[in-house]
Amino acid sequence: MAESGAPGDQNAKPVSLPVYGNYCSVGHGDPTWKAPPIDAVDLVCREHDRCYSLLVDFDERCDRNLIELMPTAMANARSPLGKQAGLMTLLYFSRWPNETSASAKSASREPDITA
């Protein structure tokens, strides 16, 4: 679960995703993909879930795709609740790629032996 605030912040609070439509939220959705998305935001969530099912949970490619598509989906959502769920989902997944990429880059660097 993501946390609000800076990494390591003692006052950070857990951030969770809202349940929305047929696919938006952690562990929420039709694993057969037969339930139709209720709107564009729910469609982005479904495609994100499908991407995870094909690759692996928290695969950066799936998260980047969600981050790229969600703003347009939010603009096309008719309900304020859909726009809010889209925004919360976008914010949640916007944190992961940067943190994951930084960790991967740090772990893959050769040690500096010139010092």
Q: What is the pLDDT of residues 11-52, one digit of tens each?
A: 655 667 889 999 999 888 898 999 999 999 999 999 999 999
Q: Where are the beta strands (DSSP E) in the chain?
A: 2-3, 14-15
Q: Please indicate, yes or no, if residue 78 is contained in any of the structural domains.
A: yes
Q: Please indicate, yes or no, if residue 19 is contained in any of the structural domains.
A: no
What are the pLDDT digits (tens) for 68-99? 999 999 999 999 999 999 999 999 988 754 55
Q: Tell me the C-alpha distance between 66 and 101, whole Å.
A: 16
Window from 6-10, 21-25, 94-98, 105-109 with minimum mean pLDDT:
105-109
Q: Please indicate, yes or no, if residue 112 is contained in any of the structural domains.
A: no
Q: Please indicate, yes or no, if residue 46 is contained in any of the structural domains.
A: yes
Q: Please indicate, yes or no, if residue 2 is contained in any of the structural domains.
A: no
Q: What's the structural domain count of the chain?
A: 1
Residues with Cβ < 8 Å from 3, sequence gap 6 or more? 9, 12, 13, 14, 15
Domain ranges, residue 41:
31-99
pTM of the predicted model as reported, rounded to 2 decimal places: 0.71
